[in-house]
Structure formats: C-alpha cells, structure tokens
Amino acid sequence: MRSSRLVLPLVLFVFSALALGLVLFVVLGRPQGSGIGGPFTLTNQAGQKVTERVLESPGATLVFFGFTHCPDVCPTTLYEVTQLYQALGPKGDRLRTLFITVDPERDTPELLRDYISSFDPRIVGLTGSPEQTAAALKAYRGYARKVPLEGNNYTMDHTALVYLMDSKGRFIESFNLKRPPEQAAKELQNYL
Ligand code: NI
C-alpha cells in the first residue's frame, strides 16, 4: 500500500532530476557558443600587429585585461602568471598569455614593454587605438570604466577575469590563479 503510493512522487522526482540534469548539461557542457572571445587587431610591446589568430596554435592561451597604472590587481595577476610559467617548466612554452590594456591612452607599446619586462618574457602585452582595445574587450564580454582621481588623474575599473582559451581560440573557463602555482599548473597540463 504505502510503497505504491510513493511510486508517483518518486517517478516525478526522477524525471525532474533528469530534466534538470539535461538542462545543466546543455547549458554548461558546451565550451563553444559561450560567446566569449573573437576577432581583435592589436599591437604588441614590440610594435607588431597581433590578431586573434595567435590563439590558433597547439596548447592554450590565457587572456586578461588590465593597464600598467593598475595599483594591485594587474601586477598581482602578472606575478601569478609568472609563477605559473615557472611551475609549468618546459611545457610552459605551449602556453601563451595575452595582457590586453584597457587604457590605450597611456599604455603605448613602449610603456607596455618596460612594464611587462619585470614578468615572464612569454607574456605578451597588447595595446591599440581606443576602438581596437574596446573591440577586444567587447569580444571577451569584459568591461572597463574610467574613474577620475584628484589632479586630472584617473584609474580604470576593469574585468579581472583570466580567460583560458583552447588551441582554436574557444573559451574553456575562467582560470583560477588564486591557488598554489603547482596546482594551477597541474590543471593546465590537460590543455597543453
Ligand atoms: Ni588592473
């Protein structure tokens, strides 16, 4: 008696769980179609043109946005990426890192070159016209906003995500650098 009365709720529960599972599978289980990433045309710290094609190479790419006058988040991220390269060893040569400025007014290729020379030499700094950097930011669905400071100065509020992209330039995940570099390196090995 009692067990037969439980059948219907149980069947409903199982079907709901399956339906939810299917929805989650469809929504989360596709690295493509995330809409993150896309075309850009920028200039690296050596003054050379770089496009999204640079992502299309064996291995993977980390992409993040920032600016050289950033007081804390950007230098910390660049330092964490540098430690990650050290933890990766020779395999790190298959990891590209693009640091794209959100402050093209101040971040000339020369300034970027000086700034990133303190970090791993495999990190590429990218700038361009305000339209070009805005287009790159939009392709990665990021945001940046100018925040006025005293004395005609300003800082930038910006997306702090680190995007992990695959060898076809498709978004894999937002990469977590807030952990021991060995742990981050271990996860990255799967893509290199
Ligand atoms: Ni920053």
The Cα–Cα gap between 134 and 65 comes to 11
Q: What is the pLDDT of residue 8?
A: 72
* DSSP character at residue 65: E
Residue written as token pair 């067990």: 3
pLDDT (average), residues 91-109 = 98
Residue 36 CA, ligand 1 centroid: distance in Å = 20
pLDDT (average), residues 130-144 = 97
Residue 72 CA, ligand 1 centroid: distance in Å = 6
Residue 93 CA, ligand 1 centroid: distance in Å = 25
Residue 99 CA, ligand 1 centroid: distance in Å = 10
Residue 49 CA, ligand 1 centroid: distance in Å = 23
Q: What percentage of the chain reaches a pLDDT higher than 90?
A: 82
User: Terminus-to-terminus CA distance in the chain, angstroms?
Assistant: 58
Q: What is the pLDDT of residue 12?
A: 72
Rounded to two decimals, what is the model's pTM? 0.82
Cβ partners under 8 Å of residue 159, min gap 6: 64, 65, 137, 140, 142, 143, 144
pLDDT (average), residues 36-51 = 98
Residue 29 CA, ligand 1 centroid: distance in Å = 30
pLDDT (average), residues 20-46 = 76
Residue 2 CA, ligand 1 centroid: distance in Å = 62
pLDDT (average), residues 76-101 = 97
Residue 121 CA, ligand 1 centroid: distance in Å = 19
Q: What is the pLDDT of residue 17?
A: 73
pLDDT (average), residues 135-161 = 96
Nearest to 38 by CA among 100, 118, 110, 129: 100
Cβ partners under 8 Å of residue 22, min gap 6: none
Q: DSSP for 73-114?
A: HHHHHHHHHHHHHHHHGGGGGGEEEEEEES-TTT--HHHHHH
Residue 69 CA, ligand 1 centroid: distance in Å = 8
Residue 179 CA, ligand 1 centroid: distance in Å = 19
